[in-house]
């Protein structure tokens, strides 16, 4: 690979890092600007706004990638995220006026959702498109996002020496804007894979329907495990193992860091022995994990197994999905489908784990569903889909 390939990797990773750090620092730091009674409301409302905005951003920037080019699309997401960061800094200065502070915060959060919806899926597709070793490339594509998530989850501890929350917020988002400027400087070295097309059909074809089913099949495993770990696991171990909230936060930071680095190992392995083999053994491991989860009452063992499964699924499932699909159709449809599925799956996780059923039963049900999807022929790709 050329030097420009490596520069493209680095720039894309920095973009992902900034966007995920900005997106999550809102949850872990910014909401502390409000009092305790308002924090829970703002946290849930902020997540809800972003879930509405992400599919919209995916739709917009998926088409920008085809009409104007991949690099233009990725850079516009970083511009938007920088605008959102600047607005959140302004919100700090008008915090005494609750109405304007909340209004600016809502606008900024919506912009963040649009930017993240456009960036995440498009950056993964971009790196896949220019790479020689596809599984390793996808694993590397997740490196920036993982580092951003890790730093955001650990930010409260890193910023503990800064006394005032206002200064913590200003410092965090100022660093983000500074890194964005560096990314913009490197943009000229990014590789544009192909000539883009201005002729895009917005009609949903049978291929789009088959693609939706296939995206669900390959995306569901790691999306479920990630959002289960982020949304359910901390409270679960606090209740079952009587651990402190601080310990559960450390588990999340560990999970974020683990799933940042280890997918690269699975990516390298997949490129050497084949994606099919690694994915097959991962699916078998899902079933083996069910009794292990029930009988090994140790949250550290559980978080490690969850981390390994996510790492393997991330490196293999998207590689298989992308390899069997037309790249232009992926840019047009995959970002929207992916973000809609993430919103639906994460909502269902919260719903199922909050109804009057035992946690272990619900968790086992979802793991069995993942295994069933892996062997269900009804989710096979349409043979007429053209490989790019």
Least confident of 56-65, 187-196, 221-230: 187-196
Average pLDDT, the chain: 82
The domains of the chain, with CATH numbers, are: 1-191 (1.20.1250.20), 205-380 (1.20.1250)
Q: What is the pLDDT of residue 354?
A: 84
Q: What is the pLDDT of residue 237?
A: 93
Q: How confident is the model at residue 172 (pLDDT cuts 50, 70, 90)?
A: confident
For residue 231, which of 33, 37, 25, 44 has the smallest C-alpha distance? Answer: 44
Residue 271 in this model has a pLDDT that exceeds 80: yes
Residue 368 in this model has a pLDDT that exceeds 50: yes
Q: What is the pLDDT of residue 307?
A: 93
DSSP for 7-63, please give it: HHHHHHHHHHHHHHHHHHHHHHTGGGGS-HHHHHHHHHHHHHHHHHHHHHHHHHHHH
Percent of the chain with pLDDT over 70: 88
Residue 260 in this model has a pLDDT that exceeds 50: yes
User: Helices 299-323 and 275-295 sit at what angle, rounded to 10 degrees?
Assistant: 160
Return the higher-pLDDT residue of 43 and 345. 345
Burial of 328 (0-12, 13-18, 19+ CB in 10 A): middle
pLDDT tens digit sequence for 27-36: 777 777 776 6
pLDDT tens digit sequence for 75-91: 888 889 899 999 989 98
Please tell me the distance from the alpha carbon of residue 376 to that of residue 297, in angstroms, as a whole number: 32
Cβ count near 375 (within 10 Å): 9
**How far, CA to CA in Å, does 77 sit from each of 20, 81, 265, 308?**
12, 6, 29, 30
CB 286 within 8 A of CB 216: no
Q: How confident is the model at residue 152 (pLDDT cuts 50, 70, 90)?
A: confident
Q: Which of 20-34, 95-109, 110-124, 307-321 has the highest mean pLDDT?
A: 307-321
Return the higher-pLDDT residue of 384 and 99. 99
**How far, CA to CA in Å, does 142 sit from each of 206, 259, 360?**
30, 9, 29
Residue 202 in this model has a pLDDT that exceeds 60: no
Q: What is the pLDDT of residue 188?
A: 63
């Amino acid at each position: 690979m050329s030097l420009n390939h490596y520069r493209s990797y680095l720039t894309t990773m920095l973009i992902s890092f900034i966007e995920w750090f900005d997106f999550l620092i809102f949850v872990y730091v910014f909401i502390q600007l409000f009092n305790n009674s308002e924090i829970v409301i703002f946290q849930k409302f902020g997540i809800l706004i972003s879930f509405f905005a992400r599919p919209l951003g995916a739709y917009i920037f998926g088409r920008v990638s085809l009409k104007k080019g991949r690099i233009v699309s990725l850079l516009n997401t970083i511009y938007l995220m920088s605008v959102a960061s600047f607005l959140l800094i302004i919100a700090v200065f008008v915090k005494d006026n609750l109405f304007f502070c909340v209004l600016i915060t809502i606008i900024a959060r919506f912009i963040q959702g649009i930017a993240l919806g456009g960036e995440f899926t498009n950056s993964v597709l971009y790196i896949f498109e220019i790479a020689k070793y596809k599984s390793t490339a996808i694993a590397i594509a997740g490196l920036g996002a993982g580092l951003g998530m890790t730093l955001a989850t650990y930010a409260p501890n890193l910023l503990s020496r800064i006394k005032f929350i206002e200064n913590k917020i200003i410092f965090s988002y100022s660093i983000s804007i500074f890194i964005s400027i560096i990314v913009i400087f490197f943009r000229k070295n990014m590789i544009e894979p192909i000539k883009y097309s201005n002729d895009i059909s917005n009609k949903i074809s049978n291929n789009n329907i088959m693609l939706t089913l296939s995206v669900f099949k390959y995306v569901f495993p790691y999306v479920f495990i990630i959002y289960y770990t982020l949304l359910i696991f901390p409270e679960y171990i606090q209740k079952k193992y009587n651990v402190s909230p601080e310990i559960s936060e450390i588990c999340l930071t560990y999970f974020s860091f683990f799933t940042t680095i280890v997918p690269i190992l699975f990516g390298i392995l997949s490129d050497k022995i084949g994606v099919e083999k690694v994915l097959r053994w991962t699916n078998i491991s899902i079933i083996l994990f069910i009794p292990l989860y029930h009988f090994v009452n140790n949250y550290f063992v559980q978080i490690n197994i969850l981390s390994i499964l996510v790492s393997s699924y991330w490196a293999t499932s998207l590689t298989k999905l992308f390899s069997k699909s037309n790249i232009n159709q992926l840019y047009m449809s995959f970002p929207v489908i992916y973000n809609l599925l993430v919103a639906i799956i994460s909502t269902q996780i919260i719903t199922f784990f909050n109804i009057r059923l035992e946690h272990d039963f619900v968790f086992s049900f979802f793991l069995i569903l993942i295994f069933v999807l892996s062997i269900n022929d009804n989710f096979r790709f349409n043979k007429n889909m053209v490989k790019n």
